[in-house]
Structure 1
Amino acid sequence: MSDATILAGVLGLSSAIQLAREGHTVTVIARDLPGDFDIEYASPWAGSHFRPISANNASERFEQELMHETYDELKVTAERHPDSSVRFVRAVEYFDSPSPAYSDETLVKQNGYADWPDFRILDPSELPAGHDAIQLGVTYTGWVLNSPVYLAWLHRQAQGLGVRFIRARLAALEEAVFIHRESEGNHPRANIRAVINASGRGFQDPDSFPSRGQFILVSNPCSETISHHWADGSTTVIIPRPLGGGTVIGGTKEPNNWSHSISNAATETILTRAAKLCEQLVSGASNQDASGFDIKQVYIGRRPMRKGGLRLEEQTLEFQDTAEEDGLKTVSRSIPVVHCYGAGASGFKISWELGGGETSGASRGDDIV
């Protein structure tokens, strides 16, 4: 029997690898595969860096636990597979007006934000010059990766484990059953043990929505990842992309904005902010324009958001099938489905949330339901 994973974003590929490592036969069904670039295929556009969250409720504590699992897995990946592009670097965050959740005492003692390697609160003398509004700075060891390179690496890892890929556009989750059946010679009893729904925004989920993000890819180098949380609620991020990928600078967060048009005003604002945060950026590249940046690409990505955050739960999927006897009737069937979508900007940070992986020693042949 086969387990089918829907879509080939970072969650779908990571899930497929974990299941294959545990001895399952896995088929990935996706419209887009690593190497493709489409605004609806969110993973290749991601800046892809680690940034903690404060854990003030059960949902956030669960997400933080998943981040720890992924952090450990990526540490192994960085050591064993440098071609994956995963690197661990110094990370810095600045806060203009930190809420109580980000006060010094809370960060250190209460909500787990400080539970990461090399965490410390920056001395005021370490804050950027000319940024009087910054009230707090922290640093820790985080990871970065080159998302298109990493996705291609995951694809190769999955193929090496025997994962099969089918390129297809799905109108509904139920359609995965029939596409898989056709790939098996259209045998009515071609069995699927379970479906992993890693479809980004789900299928007709009213709680799911896109969040538009505008980013700039430059050749200018920055040796660390930097995040600045402004008093107006916006965030500037600077994320190096290893293996010659330049630096991603962002960005915007625009829920329910379906536009794919570039805003020149946003580009100018983002670059102006970034230059003040990392002086290395505007002094380390050739072919610079008047702003000091060597711009390679300005692009839009759509984060797969969901009210309530990640949906990670098991459910029974009921669907209609053609009766085998005479083909003139339909019969009701069911199959277990595990929903794993709606991670928003945290997809890479929680991508090894199902357990397994090189660090787990999972037994082979276990059922997944």
Structure 2
Amino acid sequence: MVTLPSNQSIVIVGAGIVGLDVALVLAERGYGSLITVVAEHLPGDTSQTYTSPYAGCNFSAISGSDPNALRWDQLGYSHLCKLASQGEPHRTFVQRTPSIELWDEDVPEEKIKHMSEYLEDFRVLESDELPQGVKFAVSFTTLTINAPKHIEYLYQRLKNDYGVRFVRQALPHLRNAFASPDTQVVFNCTGNAARTLPGVEDKRCYPTRGQVLLVRAPSVQTNIMRHGRAYETYVIPRPQSNGNVILGGYMQKGNSDGATYSYETESILRRTNELSQELRQGEQELLAAMSGLRPSREGGARVQRESIVIGGETKAIVHNYGAGGTGFQGGYGMALDAVQAAGGILQGLKLQLQPSSRL
């Protein structure tokens, strides 16, 4: 039986970065007391089906080149810059970091041109600066994020500062998110579950497996990524982690294997040490190998409103999933669009937030 708190007009299904960003956008607009986040896993948990804690993670050109992805990236970069500028990186776990990004082939020129208009310290590297086999490279200031700590920060901030409720519960059907008659809109932020969850069952969704390594390497201060034929290699320093670094990786479309493999660990160590001089020159201690499943979708992420009839009353679902490996960098922009899609309902809910007038 599904039981949810009463007087919760807004329900968000999913507590990964995409769901948390939706909650943050709504809370910042004054709706915190009306929100319940329902999820099988919450920040602080680990599970093969809970992707966000396993993210690298940084801001990069790894996202799509369609207009939505470009816009979401720009909005996300601005949001992350604000979090990094609050003077409390130990709270947000978001940090400005120098970055180098390299392509062996298939340079996304239009995407890079768009990103160059807002990335801090953007520069195209000269040909004599390129490693062997690299066709094109840029440097800029990225944002690196301690993924598990950042979602815990959002979780605590939403609960303590905005009064958002969190309910640990797996829903058998998306319709069950309307268990409370007060619920007017549900935001579907179910990630990988969107492929199989009754009420969604989007067959365009698929997992993209990655294996990464957590190492202690305090000498690494620069984010560096190399996009090659059928591989991705990256070195991402993790903020506020006592010198820990994420090394990767793999982009295995349709692979849902949650195991880790020693031969992949060996490949990651070889490739990342070839890529990063900082990594080669300092001490390294391998702490863990981890596997995660990026919630991907053919055609890109889905941010779309749908009407549903519950008990004879028309209500709304706003779908917001399929970000793949770009949830941390594009999730805030996606959340802005998702909240905009629910605009009419949210305007009506403002009446619940106004104190009753007395004669």
Q: What TM-score comes out, normalization by structure 2 length?
A: 0.84
Q: Report the residue type matching 1:308 in the other structure.
A: G
The 3 A distance-change label for structure 1 pair 30 and 138 is same
1:220 aligns with 2:217: yes
The 3 A distance-change label for structure 1 pair 268 and 53 is closer
CA drift at 1:112: 1.2
CA drift at 1:54: 7.8
Give unpaired runs (5+ residues) of structure 2.
1-6, 338-342, 351-359
CA drift at 1:272: 0.5
1:206 aligns with 2:215: no
CA distance in 2, matches of 1:53, 1:273: 18
Which range is displaced more, 46-55 or 275-284? 46-55
CA distance in 2, matches of 1:305, 1:153: 25
CA distance in 2, matches of 1:169, 1:107: 38
Q: Report the residue type matching 2:116 in the other structure.
A: A
Alignment deviations for residues 313-341 of structure 1 (CA, whole Å, 9 cap, x no partner): 1111235xxxxxxxxxxx54442011100
Cα pair 1:30 1:168 within 8 Å, conserved: yes
Aligned to 1:345: 325
Which range is displaced more, 262-271 or 304-313? 262-271
RMSD: 2.2
Aligned to 1:366: 347
Alignment deviations for residues 66-96 of structure 1 (CA, whole Å, 9 cap, x no partner): 1111111111111224211100111111111
Identity %: 30
1:248 aligns with 2:255: no
Aligned to 1:177: 178
Listed as ranges, the matches of 1:126-145 within 5 Å are 126-128=129-131, 132-145=132-145
Alignment deviations for residues 208-267 of structure 1 (CA, whole Å, 9 cap, x no partner): 11111111110013211111012x221101111010161101111111112122221111
Matched residue SS, 1:280: helix
Matched residue SS, 2:347: coil
1:45 aligns with 2:54: yes
CA drift at 1:107: 6.5
The 3 A distance-change label for structure 1 pair 368 and 215 is farther
CA distance in 2, matches of 1:53, 1:294: 27
CA distance in 1, matches of 2:58, 2:348: 33
The 3 A distance-change label for structure 1 pair 198 and 54 is closer
Aligned to 2:299: 308
1:233 aligns with 2:258: no
Matched residue SS, 1:347: helix
Cα pair 2:53 2:148 within 8 Å, conserved: yes
Q: What TM-score comes out, normalization by structure 1 length?
A: 0.82
Matched residue SS, 1:87: strand
The alignment covers a number of residue pairs equal to: 321
1:91 aligns with one of 83, 93, 99: 99
Give unpaired runs (5+ residues) of structure 1.
182-189, 286-292, 320-330, 357-361
CA distance in 1, matches of 2:255, 2:313: 38
1:112 aligns with 2:92: no
The 3 A distance-change label for structure 1 pair 196 and 64 is same
Alignment deviations for residues 128-165 of structure 1 (CA, whole Å, 9 cap, x no partner): 4xxx2112211111100100110010001100200000
Matched residue SS, 1:229: strand
Aligned to 1:29: 38
Aligned to 1:79: 85
Aligned to 1:259: 257
The 3 A distance-change label for structure 1 pair 308 and 368 is farther
CA distance in 1, matches of 2:80, 2:349: 23
